[in-house]
Structures are given as C-alpha cells and as structure tokens.
C-alpha cells in the first residue's frame, strides 16, 4: 500500500483511481504490516432503499477517526464496482455503513466478498447494514441477522455485555443514547458473540435485544453494530471508540 493512500479520503468516483490499482495483492498468509495506519478500510454507503440523512456525517466521522487515530486508512465510496475481487486485494476491512436494500452485486462480486472475509479479512456492518441484501442469504449469515423493525426511537440504555472486547472497550458497563433501536428477524444470540444489548426496561419493554455482536467467518472476523441512525451517534466519541476498536479487531493480522 503506497503511503500516499494512507488516510486518504476519496470521493466515490475517484475511489478506484485513488487506491485500488496500487494495492499489493494479499493472501491470508502474506503480512500486512501491523501497527498504526496499517489497516485499509473500504467504507460502502450505497443504498438501494431507505437512505439515512446521517450518511454524510458518517463518512465525515470515519474520515476524522482515520486521521485522528492514525490506525487505519479509509476509502469511502458508493461505487459498487469497488466490490470486485481485484479491488478488494487493496483492503483489509470492508465496512457496510448505512447501506440498504438489494444492492446490485453480481454473482462474481458476491463470491469475491465472501472469499475476502473467509480468507482472513474483516467485515463490519453498521445500522441498516442488516436492512440490506435480504435476497442474498449468505449475506445474512455473514452479518448475523436481518433487520425486523425499529419499535423505539428514543433515549435508551445500552448494556455492554463484553467490555473486554476491543470493539466494546472504553465505553463503560452501560451508556445512555438517543437512537433508533433495531430488532431482528431472528435473535442472533447463540450464533454470535453479543457485545451490546438494549436494556429493554429503559424503553419500557421486556425481552432480549442484542445490538452489537461479533462472529468468525471462515478465517475472517465480522462485527456488526445496530446503532448509527443519527448523525449525533456518528459524532459520539463512545460510538467512534467502538468502531475504531472494531476496525482494529477485524483488521488484525
Ligand atoms: Zn435508521
């Protein structure tokens, strides 16, 4: 990866020009240098259904986090052609942030994304990434669950189930946040390792509502966080801390 691409934020149309053709091909065994700035993240915010107003804030927040942490470089794009086997060789982590609907992915691109993760790379989904690609069941297995509904858009308490995990560390045992809290078609608990759950009582409900989780996928690592509806969430240092930790964890070598 040329240093010129580190922490470079490229607009969608420039994404392929910016970094894709310069990446050194990687295999699970080839070493991507670890340490500061070594993780290369491809952030996709394309939508084929609902489009969140927070997408610009999400992109800006992640660009800021890349620059301030010095731990990863970020390419934000809505160009679906960036999800090709060839282009993915330039990245360590693919992040679906606020995506929605049946994104146009060819069979070859679907295989490329699955191969990317299974061969030892990272996949991160945020908020409506579970409201995405319902018609591709392998994607549901990759991300862990599909969105069902959002019964509560209000202040609620989030319980941190595993504060020792890098993607949930540093935010305390629980925190209160204004969010659009999701429920899922099937509770993923049991199939995934839950990091966050909603304190149901805080929204006047009962039941088990996981909000963030991780799971292995082949030799790769998958992280999902259901928060992120509002721009304020993306600008919340507690949310950013989780995402930075998730990138560190998912992009490990
Ligand atoms: Zn939302």
Q: How far is the CA of 127 from the centre of ligand 1 (A)?
A: 7
For residue range 135-186, list pLDDT tens digits in order.
Answer: 999 999 999 999 999 999 999 999 999 999 999 999 999 999 999 999 999 9
- Selected residue with higher pLDDT from 221 and 20: 221
For residue range 83-102, list pLDDT tens digits in order.
Answer: 999 999 999 999 999 999 99
Residue 79 · residue 15 · CB < 8 Å: yes
Q: How far is the CA of 118 from the centre of ligand 1 (A)?
A: 28
- Residue 38 pLDDT level (bands cut at 50, 70, 90): confident
Average pLDDT, the chain: 88
Bridge partners for 222 per DSSP: 123, 215
**Residues lining ligand 1 (ion), CB within 5 A?**
180, 229
Q: How far is the CA of 3 from the centre of ligand 1 (A)?
A: 35
Q: How far is the CA of 102 from the centre of ligand 1 (A)?
A: 17
Nearest CA-CA partner of 213 in 197, 184, 193, 243: 193
Whole-number percent of the chain with pLDDT over 70: 85
Q: How far is the CA of 23 from the centre of ligand 1 (A)?
A: 33
C-alpha distances in Å from residue 89, one per residue of 18, 83, 173, 251:
14, 10, 37, 13
Q: How far is the CA of 189 from the centre of ligand 1 (A)?
A: 22
CB neighbourhood size of 154 (10 A): 13
Q: How far is the CA of 50 from the centre of ligand 1 (A)?
A: 9
Rounded Cα distance, 222 and 3, in Å: 27
| Burial category of 236 from C-beta neighbours within 10 Å (exposed 0-12, middle 13-18, buried 19 and up) | buried
pTM for the whole structure: 0.86
For residue range 199-213, list pLDDT tens digits in order.
Answer: 999 999 999 999 999
- Residue 3 pLDDT level (bands cut at 50, 70, 90): very low
């Amino acid at each position: 990866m040329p240093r010129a691409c580190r922490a470079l934020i490229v607009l969608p149309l420039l994404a392929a020009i910016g970094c894709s053709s310069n990446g050194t091909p990687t295999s699970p065994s080839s070493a991507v240098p670890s340490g500061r700035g070594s993780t290369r993240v491809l952030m996709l915010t394309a939508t084929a259904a609902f489009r969140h107003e927070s997408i610009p804030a999400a992109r800006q927040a992640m660009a800021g986090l890349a620059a301030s942490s010095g731990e990863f470089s970020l390419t934000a794009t809505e160009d679906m052609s960036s999800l090709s086997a060839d282009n993915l060789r330039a990245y360590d982590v693919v992040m679906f942030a606020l995506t929605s609907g049946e994104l146009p992915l060819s069979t070859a691109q679907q295989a490329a994304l699955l191969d990317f993760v299974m061969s030892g790379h990272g996949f991160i989904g945020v908020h409506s990434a579970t409201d995405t690609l319902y018609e591709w069941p392998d994607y549901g297995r990759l991300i862990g669950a599909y969105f069902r509904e959002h019964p509560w858009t209000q202040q609620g308490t989030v319980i941190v189930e595993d504060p020792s995990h890098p993607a949930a560390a540093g935010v305390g045992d629980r925190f209160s946040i204004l969010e659009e809290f999701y429920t899922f078609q099937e509770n993923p608990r049991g199939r995934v390792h839950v990091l966050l759950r909603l304190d149901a009582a805080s929204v006047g409900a009962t039941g088990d509502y996981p909000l963030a989780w991780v799971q292995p996928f082949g030799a790769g690592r998958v992280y999902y966080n259901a928060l992120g509806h509002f721009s304020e969430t993306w600008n919340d240092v507690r949310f950013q801390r989780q995402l930075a930790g998730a990138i560190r964890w998912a992009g490990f070598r």
